[in-house]
Amino acid sequence: MDISNTPYWVFEFLKVLCGYLLVGFLWPRFVFAGRLRGKSVIYQFSFCVSVQMVLINTVVLGLGLLHILNAWTVRTVFYGVPLAVLYRRLHITEEKVEDAFRVITFARSKLLLRRLGRAAARRMKLLWRAVQAHPLDYLALGIVVVYALVYFSWGAFQNTSYGYGDQYVHHAWIQGLIQGEIFLDGVYPAGMHCMLYAIHTLLGVSLYNLLLFFGCIQCILFLAASYCLLRELFHWRFTPIFVLAGFVLLEANGSLQGMSRLQWTLPLEFALAPQMICLLYLIRYLRYGGKKVEKGKFAGYIAGDELLVFMLALAAMLAAHFHAAMMAFLMCLMVALFYLKRTFSKERFLSLVLAVLCGAFIALAPMAAALASGIPMQASLNWALGIIGGETDTERRSSQLEELNEELARNETGVSGEVEARTAFAVKVFRRAYTGILDPSWAVPLLILMAVVTLGGAALKLAMQFPPFRCCWFVRTGLTRLWLDNYFLLTGLSFIMTFLYILPYVGLPELVVAARLVTTMRMLFFAAAAIPLDFLFALLSLRLKNPALNLLSAFCLTLICLWAVMGENYHHFLYYELTRYRAEVAVMNHIIQNYPKDEFTVVSPTDGLYHVIAYGRHEELVDFLHKAADGRYFIPTEHVFIFIEKKPLVYAQNHIAQGPAFLGRPDNRDQYVQFGRPWSVAPTITATEISPEAAREDLGEYNKPFDYYRYDRTVVESKAYAWCQRFAELYPSEVDIYYEDDSFVCYYFRQEPNAPYDLAIGYGE
């Protein structure tokens, strides 16, 4: 049995990628072709990402509320709509149907192929027209995106198992949708779950592989949405690519957990792309306006395409995760402050408020209806509300407040001393916010440079208000009027995310957990740090032609990449919370592919349940041990497989990936502990050993099977191994070893389903 089986995993990854492209892009691009015709590539990308999230979430949850959610209703909707659009677009008549039938059936395949070829050629010409004006920057963007796709999917290929415990929960909730039940564990934003359910139902992609690989696709969507936002705010086309290259290549430091989250399929990361799109189209709406409504009650108000995409992105973000919406609210507030007059103008304010209300209603209406029907709120939402309300006193907050008190104690008493201490502490915290996500050796110089540029820009803009400077060449070129405002806005966005990050450090409620906001914070910091470079290219563009600027930009990007990969600047590999050996995943796949559905049982820890649930029966290993120790116990299927770790994993250890040098820096840190968990560097794995002594120990008393595997894993695996040895003695001709290596063994036996073995034989006490 090939444990690595790389071609299989590459093929499955491509299926997941193509599945999202078909459902997430091709479907809305075809259905809404009339609206998207003639629009820019950025608009089409933003519209498709947002509208499809909203549509799938609304349709799936709506069918669930009506108790008619199943594969056939979903297929009827999402296959039926394109067919109806095609029927209407082609003006199908009986003669056209007969002609198409003759083309297909009566030796006219060459004509059909020619027609299809011409249609494909037209599409390729349209695509080439979109990129031929700036091929070099699109090529550079493509290289960065492909590199990010490989880097953020590397852990999934190396481990082929879920990298974060929450992924098992989300798998269970999507499995609930497959069974026709929405909000299986309570009301919770279900945008990601509905999207993956739709891809699985419409195209048949494995749900396990979707959750395994979709995280890196979410990451690419976030990078693409960030690129779109930065294209709006920067003067030079290459500057957003500089930012993305720095984001992907530079070391994560204190933001390692936030960066590692980008490789896992999680709702918050699913909401990051619409978060950036929402911000982009609010800026566009306030800056450019749109079209005035000419008739009806809203005559005179400004609406248009920008406001529509803003509303859809807001709805998509709320449908995916509330923390992303919290971050977006503060960033949009900063944008509104920059365009205060336009925000509260008569033509825009009411339209904007209505768009926000409509977006919130679209996203929250299914959740509100579910709550009204008696479905309770999911527990993690209560936890999040407690965090926001300051009710949860975490260890980190306690340590932060203790640090503040120590800072106060070191200063003289009195009001002035307290103010001075709090100011000094705030400066320290701001510095920590940036040095925590970047290398301190160059984070501080970047901060100083940003401060100098910001103050210099403010002075320049102020000087332009006086007559002696109004006719200078800065004003004539338009740089001051637009691009300086963009730079200030970028700096403000970076500041507001930093403010959100430091709230718990100064004793205020933690609105968003730090690990969940550092991704957006890191992107905006790199954007703010790129302002001097963009301003330089803006000035050069006044004197140099595009070919020279393109070559200079390519040279600059090369220098940035070379500097990033040098020494301590280059990023390490990301980590996984390891819960299964790779061999366990390979054996499970082999069983699924070679045995009839629902005619086999796999006995393993809970982590195997989500892999096998759609194909066969699963028995919890700890339940198996309890039942085998007392009374009569039978497993009803013909084929039985028992998974045993001979070297039990230290559960959910932070397992750092390793790979080729071009992809990441080899990990040479002496220690790495995240939230007190053990760590390991691939291919080494932190594990214990099964033993007869451990098999004779008593199991602890826990409420959930998960806790047995986390705290008493060695005892559980030792008892299971002892049971298999005893069963092999009783039935030597029936028990086989299906697979074995130094760390893992899978036992197999076959039985008559109508007369199964009594498995209550104990396990060697």
Q: What is the pLDDT of residue 91?
A: 65
For residues 474-495, give the mean pLDDT.
70
Of the listed ranges 299-303, 473-477, 692-696, the one predicted with least confidence: 473-477
Query: Which pLDDT belongs to residue 604?
Result: 93
Q: What is the dihedral of CA 612, 615, 621, 624, to 10 degrees?
A: 170
Q: Which two three-digit tokens encode residue 141?
A: 């963007």
Note the pLDDT of residue 614.
Answer: 87
* pLDDT score of 675: 46
CA distance 238 to 232: 12
Does residue 415 have a pLDDT over 50?
no
- Taking 70 as the threshold, does the pLDDT of residue 445 lie above it? no
Residue written as token pair 């979430």: 57
Tell me the two tokens of residue 477. Answer: 């070129």
Q: How far apart are CA 407 and CA 506, in angstroms?
A: 11
Half-sphere exposure of 551 (CA within 13 A, CB side): 4
Mean residue pLDDT of the chain comes to 82
Q: What is the pLDDT of residue 601?
A: 94
Which residue did the predictor score with more confidence, 99 or 399? 99
For the segment 90-98, the average pLDDT, to the nearest whole number, is 62
The closest of 313, 312, 304, 272 to 286, measured between CA atoms, is 304
CA-CA distance, 524 to 735, in Å (whole number)? 59
Band (679; pLDDT cuts 50, 70, 90): confident
What is the CB-side half-sphere exposure of residue 538 using CA atoms within 13 A?
21
**Band (584; pLDDT cuts 50, 70, 90):** very high
How far is 524 from 739, CA to CA, in rounded Å? Answer: 49
Query: How many alpha carbons fall within 13 Å on the CB side of residue 128?
Result: 6
Q: pLDDT band for position 680 (50/70/90)? A: confident
Q: C-alpha distances in angstroms, 485 versus 290, 344, 461, 488, 512?
A: 20, 19, 9, 5, 28
In angstroms, the CA 163 to CA 152 distance is 12
Lay out the sheet containing 735-740: strands in order across.
Answer: 617-620, 600-604, 639-645, 744-750, 735-740
Q: CA nearest 753: which of 640, 604, 619?
A: 640
Tell me: pLDDT of 585 over 80: yes
How much is the pLDDT for 60? Answer: 95
Domain boundaries, the chain: 8-70+135-375, 385-569, 578-750
Higher pLDDT, 517 or 592: 592
DSSP state of 670: S
Q: Residue 14 CB: number of other CB atoms within 10 A?
A: 11
Better-scored residue on pLDDT, 407 or 484: 484
